[in-house]
Structure 1
Amino acid sequence: MFRIAFLTPRIPPNTGNAIRMVAATGAQLHLIGPLGFDLEDAKLRRAGLDYHDLASVTVHRDLAAAWAAFEGARVFAFTASATVRHTDPGYRPGDVLLFGPEPTGLPAEVLADPRVTERVRIPMLAGRRSLNLSNAAAVAAYEAWRQHDFAGA
């Protein structure tokens, strides 16, 4: 299945919502530290409801550890500055859908990293800065899953 990766997430309820989403889709959630909260945070637990035991969540201490874990995988970096739409790539199981922290997004050095296969964006109306992190991750995960006819559903 697909891997959703959050680089240094800051807002616990967004991660909690993503935990529910990966439990519902069979995707894996990778949290890349340092995290802006404790995994026992009440807001994260509340947003994730009772899905924590149904979700695959991996925490990497930093980006170097995540890159090592993603070795050989295609990495799609989501950024509002990309020209390729999130619906354009043909996603494959094992692909990494990488998102930056709220509210800044992925830093330039990550976007320029040679391990990034493609920079992609989710279309929005002009003048809008970004989507909520968990909403953007859900849009991306469901598109990737849709391309595989919602396998397993």
Structure 2
Amino acid sequence: MSDIRIALYQPDIPGNTGTILRLAACLGFKVDIIEPAGFVLSDKNLRRAGMDYLASVAMTRHVNWEQFEAWRRGEGRRLVLASTRAAVSYVTFGFRPDDILLFGRESAGVPEAVHEGADARLLIPMVAGQRSINVAMSAAMMAGEALRQTAGFAAL
């Protein structure tokens, strides 16, 4: 059974966060929010995109990167970062059932120290000249591939 988690580094946009929480609820993922967020993390701010799915998702809030990293290292989990600066495509990467898929801020990604601290950095290939795919769409694409590879869909 898959125990893949989605982590959001200081998310900026409540609608994207709500959409990712809804995705996680439907696929059985747990979500880690690494604060501070660019908005107040409240049901009101997340409700429009997350709808009534918010009650079904297990979400853990970490007050900062350092707390998240201490928890992750204690759990012995691999951190897989989605990055436009990566060289490895997410479809050629070998996911594991206990990976944490990390997605950066919509406005700025992640700081260099976080980028370098990831165990793997993955790219979603795009047409030349395009900057990035919406973070919620990126999370869905990578989560789907990770579930496919780890037979997580069979458990749903």
Q: Do both proteins adopt the same fold according to a TM-score greater than 0.5, normalized to the shorter chain?
A: yes
Pairwise CA distance, 1:106: 1.8
Q: Report % sequence identity.
A: 41
* 1:37-76 map, 5 Å: 37-40=39-42, 42-71=44-73, 72-76=76-80
Write out per-residue CA displacement over residues 64-86 of structure 1, whole angstroms, 9 at most, x where no aligned residue: 11111211211111101111001
The equivalent of 1:135 in structure 2 is 137
CA contact (8 A) 1:78 1:120 kept: yes
Say which of 32, 35, 39 aligns to 1:33.
35
- Letter aligned with residue 12 of structure 2: R
d(CA) in 2 for partners of 1:5 and 1:55? 13
* 1:1-153 map, 5 Å: 1-40=3-42, 42-71=44-73, 72-113=76-117, 116-149=118-151, 150-153=153-156
d(CA) in 1 for partners of 2:154 and 2:71? 24
- Letter aligned with residue 56 of structure 2: L
TM-score normalised by structure 1 residue count: 0.93
d(CA) in 1 for partners of 2:142 and 2:128? 20
SS, match of residue 70 in structure 1: helix
Pairwise CA distance, 1:41: 5.4
Which of structure 1's runs of 4+ aligned residues deviate more than 3 A?
none
CA contact (8 A) 1:12 1:41 kept: no
d(CA) in 1 for partners of 2:43 and 2:150? 34
Q: How many residues align?
A: 151
Pairwise CA distance, 1:17: 0.1
TM-score normalised by structure 2 residue count: 0.92
d(CA) in 1 for partners of 2:141 and 2:53? 19
Q: What CA RMSD, in Å, does the superposition of the two structures yield over aligned residues?
A: 1.2
d(CA) in 2 for partners of 1:111 and 1:77? 7
